[in-house]
């Protein structure tokens, strides 16, 4: 799998796998980033691509010193399963 890229122009994190693009759409307001929607093409379903994308995106959020609003249900559920990322969440 490739690296997770922060495509700021399109407001999304991207992960390319086997010629398909999985994305995590976000909006940013100062030091707060809101993850709005995770999109994984059906061709990549069930391969852990969404989880890899979310983890890589959250690692970048942490490295940048940002706080997160997990509006996306997939991201919210992922953080519940990985409580070591819960410190990134703000209300």
Predicted confidence band at 1 (pLDDT cuts at 50, 70, 90)? low
What is the pTM (predicted TM-score) of this model? 0.95
Beta strand 32-39 with 67-70 is: parallel
pLDDT surpassing 90 at residue 91: no
> What is the rounded end-to-end Cα distance, in angstroms, of the chain?
33
pLDDT surpassing 80 at residue 67: yes
2: DSSP letter: -
Over the stretch 17-38, which tens digit does the pLDDT of each residue have? Answer: 999 999 999 999 999 999 999 9
Domains and CATH numbers, the chain: 5-88 (3.40.630.30)
Predicted confidence band at 2 (pLDDT cuts at 50, 70, 90)? confident
């Amino acid at each position: 799998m490739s690296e997770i890229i922060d495509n700021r122009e399109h407001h999304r994190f991207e992960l390319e796998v086997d010629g398909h693009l999985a994305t995590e759409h976000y909006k940013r307001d100062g030091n707060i980033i809101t993850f709005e929607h995770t999109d994984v093409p059906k061709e990549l379903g069930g391969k852990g691509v969404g989880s890899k994308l979310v983890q890589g995106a959250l690692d970048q959020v942490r490295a940048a010193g940002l706080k997160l609003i997990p509006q996306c249900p997939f991201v919210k559920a992922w953080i519940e399963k990985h409580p070591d990322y819960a410190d990134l969440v703000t209300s």
